[in-house]
Amino acid sequence: MDLDPLQRLLAERACERVVLDFVRRLDLGEPSSVAELFTEDGSWEWPDGDRLVAGREALRKYFGSRPAGRLSRRLMSNVLVTLTSPDTAISTAYFTTYRVDGHHGGLVTAGPPVQVGHYEDNFRQVDGSWLIDTRTLFLPFGGPTPRHRPPGRLVA
């Protein structure tokens, strides 16, 4: 593949931004909008959990079903994007997830992460935008999501 180095850099950076925008939307935005980062026929798979969500509408429903009161922060690292053609790319990105359910405001005492794993993505450029075609989640470290229990209030 003979691509200008600047074109390669811009494509790789665009894919990296999609990886980071995914977690920003889940943690700080509207979770169902994550579906817009996938191709129309894109899919999210978790082989260990035997889950496959295929198609943008199914993805919107899946990510939009996030429980009310869930507070999460994902740390992304080691994002490595490799162009495989002028319009396709692959990536691997590591993540660590901190999460609690039942949050209704206030500070949460930090605990250990509930997940540590990595994503393997396939990207496709569609109408000038880089989108996730397939995302596979690998989760070697995981545990249950704890419930937030705010400290009791003193009654005067």
| pLDDT tens readout for residues 129-150 | 999 999 999 999 999 999 988 7
* Percent of the residues in the chain that have a pLDDT greater than 90, as a whole number: 84
Q: Output the CATH code of domain 5-103+110-142.
A: 3.10.450.50
Give dist(CA 88, CA 15) in Å, integer. Answer: 10
Is the pLDDT confidence value at 155 over 70? no
For residue 26, is pLDDT > 60? Answer: yes
* pLDDT at position 68 over 80: yes
pLDDT band at 154 (very low <50, low <70, confident <90, very high): very low
Residue 130 CB burial class (10 angstroms; 0-12, 13-18, ≥19): buried
Average pLDDT over the chain reads 93
Dist CA 32 CA 55 (whole Å): 13
Phi-psi region of 140 (alpha: psi -120 to 50; beta: other; left: phi over 0): alpha
